[in-house]
Amino acid sequence: MSENQIDLFPHPKSSLSPETQRLNLLALARVRGIGEASLKVFLKKFPDLQGVWDTSPEELHRISTEAGLRLPEVVFKDVLANRAKLEEGAKNQLASFARQGIQFLTDLDDTFPHQLRDIEDPPRWLFVQGDVKLLCAPNLIAVVGTREASTRGMKRARELTQWLAEHGLIIVSGLAEGIDQAAHEAALDFDARTIAVLGTGISVVFPASTGHLRRQIIEDGGAMALVPFDVIRS
């Protein structure tokens, strides 16, 4: 890290467990009323979230209020009273991920994309299918555009993607209809790997017309990535 960079993840990672953080994230995400913003607040206080279970009701109420939860007293009571049930659900979810080939990464994992650590308000977790190492490649470039593209626009998107692919770049897009889909298809046509950054649950095929494209992206060494917890609510 250069002297001009800010460490957005200042906690002592060597003393924290990615596995513990993963389990706790999934468990807490199952609590009605807890979302991504509040989970980030909890992570600032408890980097691997283990302390959430052991803190006092008063402290948990204070943190829940700070996290902006509408009914903090209901939320923290649910957390404290249902730990075993929440953890069991999280373990079942991790097993389901494994069966689907979904990797759940947190910022404690060495494979977490380093590029994301340098942005403002970085994500603290990712759901990934495919080659997770691809997300750390230095030669990524995004090709994105409108869903209602003209015939000319689609043609230009394919031409641009072909040129980028021929120059060794990995194409990143959103797997939406229109320009995004054209970019992914062109990348695959010209033997370039591609990453789809999804806006819906990673298990949800949307739009339906992209089902075959998702399979081909993975089969050809690409990846799909998702930040929201829609993956467990789909």
| Total number of residues shown for the chain | 234
**pLDDT for the residue 12:** 45
Q: Clarify whether residues 145 and 202 are in a common domain.
A: yes
- Which positions ≥6 away from 206 have C-beta within 8 Å? 200
Q: Could you say which of 79, 100, 121 is where a domain stops?
A: 100
Walk along the chain (234 residues) and give the pLDDT tens digit of each residue. Answer: 444 443 444 444 446 789 999 999 999 988 888 888 888 888 988 888 988 888 887 888 888 888 777 777 777 777 878 899 999 999 999 999 999 899 999 988 988 998 888 888 888 899 999 999 999 999 999 999 999 999 999 999 999 999 999 999 999 999 989 999 999 999 999 999 999 998 776 667 767 777 889 899 999 999 999 876 654 544
Q: What's the number of domains the chain is made of?
A: 2
Task: List the one residue out of 172, 102, 162 whose CA is nearest residue 137.
Answer: 172
Q: Could you say which of 78, 100, 122 is where a domain stops?
A: 100
**pLDDT for the residue 81:** 85
- Which positions ≥6 away from 220 have C-beta within 8 Å? 188, 193, 194
Q: Clarify whether residues 144 and 228 are in a common domain.
A: yes
User: Is 124 within the bounds of a domain?
Assistant: no
Q: Are strands 102-106 and 223-226 parallel, antiparallel or unpaired?
A: unpaired
**pLDDT for the residue 57:** 79
Look up residue 138 and give its DSSP letter: S
Domain CATH number, residue 225: 3.40.50.450
Which residues span the domain enclosing 142?
A: 130-232
Q: Which residues pair with 125 in a beta bridge?
A: 106
Other Cβ atoms within 10 Å of 230 Cβ, number: 16
Q: Clarify whether residues 61 and 153 are in a common domain.
A: no
**pLDDT for the residue 17:** 86
